[in-house]
Structure 1
Amino acid sequence: MAAPLLEKLSESLGSPEPAIRLILSVLIGYPFALVYRWFLFYQPATVVHLFHICSGLALAAFNFGSQLYHSAVCVFVQFLMLRLMGRTVTGVLSSFTFQMLYLLAGYYYTATEEYDIKWTMPHCVLTLKLIGLAFDFYDGGKEPSQLSADQAKAALPSVPTLLEVFGFSYFYGGFLVGPQFTMRNYQKLVSRELTDCPGKPPNSVVPALKRFALGFLCLAMYAIFSPSFPDTYLLTDEYEAQPFWYRCVFILLWGKFMLYKYVSCWVIAEGVCILAGLGYNGVVNGKHQWDACANMKVWLFETTPLFGGTIASFNINTNAWAARHVFKRLKFLGNKTLSHVATLLFLTIWHGLHSGYILCFSMEFFIITVERQAQALVLDSPLLTSLANSHFYPFVYIVQQFIHWLFMGYPLVPFCLFTYDKWLKVYSSVYFCGHLFFLVAYLILPFLRITLVPKKDRREKKQD
């Protein structure tokens, strides 16, 4: 009965059926959270774990059928590793290797040249969750002085039970699209600690509805505008025949509206976590915070003219996971740039095996490097600093924002088109303008520094 209804809904909305199943699954998290609040909040931990496991498995079955066994196998193997290997480096490395190889094998055997919603999509979220679990369990055996503040908060004092591991993995608010959260936070949720009213369900209905409304607005914008900017148009002769400026502006608008599919899912899923209580983040300046599961800073995403600002506003929990479990653990390399490159390389592989991911993340690294040098130049140059603080800044902001949006869409071309023949065709049609722009900027910035920064300030900077 459900299949014909989904087919009709898919046809009427003009969206693939797997996408409809996914968004319905994210939305059904709200009724699940209400069931938990109304009927299960005071129940024993075992009952809550079983509810999370059953609801998560139901969502997996609804979306991927019998292929849900992939997640179940990886969760069970991870539990065995925690139990049998203990707090050892071997346990962490074994977990990392097994989970990543399983994910990459999934990518390899299910790969197509299109973006498909299949079991590997939630599995990449689960992979980080399970690897993070191994790290946090290992950290629980260290002295607190050896850990960063984030690592100390997430460290596990004892091995979690089988029900805890499965409940943590299948929690309906984060199983399909994220966000990432720690086992410690999940344990606090089940033990009723994540609430602004001790011993009672949290007053989180209004904050959750606000995120739902914002997420639904982003979803509506995606549904309305994205059909006018399809990926496939980038590969047509008609696109290639358009003027150069048109091709660039199309990439700008395509990239902007394409990202709303991620923004909408993450913000709606965050609302589910807030409603359940997982989003509670303590008190700051006398106000209860509900942003523990925030994966998007939508206002910053919309208004920042900086590439670094967009990265800081986008997929926040995954970036925080990578910082805690990859970047900071590479401190022994003694080189932040090397740690940054290694982290981006990990994220590239984690996303998939297509060449487009490599090009996207390498371009991101290059853009951020150039932007940081440009920011340093503006801060060190009296002329540029005065211009940035003058009444001309609104004009500067508009130009900067245009460049920012254009070259945010530019690296997304290979990210979304995947294969070499496709992204090369699009980049050739715009004459590799993004690569050339940032290469020229990188080469001329040192000369601009000589021209615009007083000698005294340059000498002081070198001594620092």
Structure 2
Amino acid sequence: MAAPLLEKLSESLGSPEPAVRLILSILIGYLCALVYRRFLFYKSPTVIHLFHTFSGLALAAFNFGSQLCHSAICVLVQFLMLRLMGRTVTSVLSSFIFQMLYLLAGYYYTATEEYDIKWTMPHCVLTLKLIGLSLDYYDGGKDASQLSSEQKHSALSSVPSLLEVCGFSYFYGGFLVGPQFTLRNYQRLVGRELTDCPGKPPNSFIPALKRFGLGFVCVVIYTIFSPYYQDSYFLTDEYENQPFWYRCVFILLWAKFGLYKYVSCWVIAEGSCILAGLGYSGVVDGKHQWDGCANMKVWLFETTPLFGGTIASFNINTNAWAARHVFKRLRFLGNKTLSHVTTLFFLAIWHGLHSGYILCFSLEFFIITVERQAQALVRDSPLLTKLANSSLYPLIYVVQQFIHWLFMGYSLVPFCLFAYDKWLKVYSSVYFCGHLFFLVAFLIMPYLRKALVPKKERSQKKQE
């Protein structure tokens, strides 16, 4: 009965049925949060874990049918590793190798030339959760003096039960599209600690409603504009025959509206986490904060003229996970650049096996490197600093924003088109302008510093 209704709904919306199932599942998270608040908030942890487990499994079955077995296998294996291997490096490495190999095998056997909503989509979220769980359990065996403040907040003092791991893994607010959160935060939720009213359900209706409303606006924007900016258009003769400026502007608008697909899902999913209480992050300046599960800083995303600003505003919890569990744990390498490159390589492989992911994250590293050099140049040059603070800044901002979004879209082309022959065709059609722009900027930056930064400033920087 449900299948024909979903087919009709997807036809009327003009969206694929898997996408309709996904957005309905994210919305069902709000219903689950209401049930938890109304009927289960004061129940025992066992009852709450069971509710989170079975509601998450139901959503998995609704979206992926019998393929939910993949998540169940990985959750069970992870629990057995914690129990049998204890707080050891062997346990951490075994967890990392098993979970990543299982995910990559899933990518390999289900790969197509298009972006499909299949069981590997929530599984990549689960993979980070379970690897992070093994690391947090390992940290719990260290002396407190050896831990950073982040690690102290997430370290596990005892081995979790199977039911606890299942509830954490299948929690309806984060199972399908994220956000990432730690088992300790999940334990705080179940222990009724994440609330602005001690011992009572949180006053989170309004914050949750605001995120839902914002997410709905993003869905509307995506629904209206995305049909005009399809990935497939890049590969047509019509696109190839357009003027150069049109091809570039199309890339800019395609990326801008296409990213709302991710923004809307993350912001709406965050609302269900806030409603349940998981989004509560304490008090700052006398105000209760609900950004504990924020995966998007939408205002920053919309207004920043910097590539670094967009990265800081986008997929926040995944980036924070990578910083905490990969970048900072590579401190022993003694080289930040090497740690940064390794972290980006890990994220590229975690996204999938297509060559486009490697190229996208390679471009990210190169662009961020050039941008940081440019920021340092503006900061150290009296002339450029004065210009940046002058009445001309609004014009500079517009130009900078255009460059920012043009080359942000340029970087996303391989990420979304996946295959070598596809993204190469698009880059060839715009003459590799992004590669050339940042390569030239990188090469001339030392000469610009020499011309625009006083000798005294340059010598001070060298001494530092």
Fold shared per TM-score above 0.5:
yes
In the alignment, structure 1 residue 39 sits paired with structure 2 residue 42: no
* Aligned residue in 1 for 2:278: 278
Q: Residues 358-397 of structure 1 correspond to what in structure 2 (within 5 A)?
A: 358-397=358-397
1:250-270 CA distances to partner (integer Å, 9 max, x unpaired)?
000000001000000000000
Q: In 1, Cα distance between the equivalents of 2:458 and 2:145?
A: 38
- The alpha-carbon deviation at position 275 of structure 1 amounts to 0.1
Give the secondary structure class of the aligned counterpart of 1:28.
helix
Q: Residues 176-187 of structure 1 correspond to what in structure 2 (within 5 A)?
A: 176-187=176-187
Q: In 2, Cα distance between the equivalents of 1:193 and 1:320?
A: 23
Q: In 2, Cα distance between the equivalents of 1:462 and 1:201?
A: 56
Q: Residues 244-283 of structure 1 correspond to what in structure 2 (within 5 A)?
A: 244-283=244-283
- The alpha-carbon deviation at position 146 of structure 1 amounts to 1.1
In the alignment, structure 1 residue 65 sits paired with structure 2 residue 65: yes
* Aligned residue in 1 for 2:290: 290
Q: In 2, Cα distance between the equivalents of 1:106 and 1:204?
A: 37
- The alpha-carbon deviation at position 234 of structure 1 amounts to 0.6
* Aligned residue in 2 for 1:415: 415
In the alignment, structure 1 residue 3 sits paired with structure 2 residue 3: yes
Q: Residues 338-353 of structure 1 correspond to what in structure 2 (within 5 A)?
A: 338-353=338-353
Amino acid at match of 1:436: L
Give the secondary structure class of the aligned counterpart of 1:278.
coil
In the alignment, structure 1 residue 118 sits paired with structure 2 residue 118: yes
Give the secondary structure class of the aligned counterpart of 2:67.
helix
Give the secondary structure class of the aligned counterpart of 1:283.
strand
Give the secondary structure class of the aligned counterpart of 1:402.
helix
Give the secondary structure class of the aligned counterpart of 2:192.
coil
1:95-148 CA distances to partner (integer Å, 9 max, x unpaired)?
000000000000000000000000000000000000000000000001122111
1:57-110 CA distances to partner (integer Å, 9 max, x unpaired)?
000000000000000000000000000000000000000000000000000000
Q: In 2, Cα distance between the equivalents of 1:220 and 1:60?
A: 26
- The alpha-carbon deviation at position 300 of structure 1 amounts to 0.1
Q: In 2, Cα distance between the equivalents of 1:187 and 1:115?
A: 34
Q: In 1, Cα distance between the equivalents of 2:86 and 2:460?
A: 51
Q: In 2, Cα distance between the equivalents of 1:180 and 1:146?
A: 24
* Aligned residue in 2 for 1:29: 29
Q: Residues 87-236 of structure 1 correspond to what in structure 2 (within 5 A)?
A: 87-236=87-236
The count of aligned residue pairs is 464
- The alpha-carbon deviation at position 438 of structure 1 amounts to 0.3
Instruction: Could you tell me which runs of 5 or more consecutive residues in structure 2 were left unpaired when the two chains were aligned.
Output: none
Amino acid at match of 1:340: H
Amino acid at match of 2:189: L
Q: In 2, Cα distance between the equivalents of 1:251 and 1:27?
A: 31
1:164-216 CA distances to partner (integer Å, 9 max, x unpaired)?
00000000000000000000000000011100001100000000000000001
- The alpha-carbon deviation at position 160 of structure 1 amounts to 0.3
Q: In 1, Cα distance between the equivalents of 2:218 and 2:321?
A: 25
- The alpha-carbon deviation at position 47 of structure 1 amounts to 0.5
Q: In 2, Cα distance between the equivalents of 1:120 and 1:374?
A: 39
In the alignment, structure 1 residue 425 sits paired with structure 2 residue 425: yes
Q: In 2, Cα distance between the equivalents of 1:177 and 1:404?
A: 27
Give the secondary structure class of the aligned counterpart of 1:288.
strand
* Aligned residue in 2 for 1:448: 448
- What TM-score does the superposition give when structure 1 sets the normalisation length? 1.00
Q: In 2, Cα distance between the equivalents of 1:13 and 1:241?
A: 31
- The alpha-carbon deviation at position 7 of structure 1 amounts to 0.6
- What TM-score does the superposition give when structure 2 sets the normalisation length? 1.00
Amino acid at match of 1:299: W
* Aligned residue in 2 for 1:237: 237
- The alpha-carbon deviation at position 149 of structure 1 amounts to 1.1
Q: In 1, Cα distance between the equivalents of 2:366 and 2:380?
A: 21
Give the secondary structure class of the aligned counterpart of 1:263.
helix
Give the secondary structure class of the aligned counterpart of 2:211.
helix
Give the secondary structure class of the aligned counterpart of 1:81.
helix
In the alignment, structure 1 residue 306 sits paired with structure 2 residue 310: no
1:27-82 CA distances to partner (integer Å, 9 max, x unpaired)?
11001000000000001110000000010000000000000000000000000000
Instruction: Could you tell me which runs of 5 or more consecutive residues in structure 1 were left unpaired when the two chains were aligned.
Output: none
Give the secondary structure class of the aligned counterpart of 2:411.
helix
Identity in percent: 84
Give the secondary structure class of the aligned counterpart of 2:194.
coil
Give the secondary structure class of the aligned counterpart of 2:383.
helix
Q: In 1, Cα distance between the equivalents of 2:97 and 2:146?
A: 24
* Aligned residue in 2 for 1:75: 75
* Aligned residue in 2 for 1:437: 437
Amino acid at match of 2:316: I
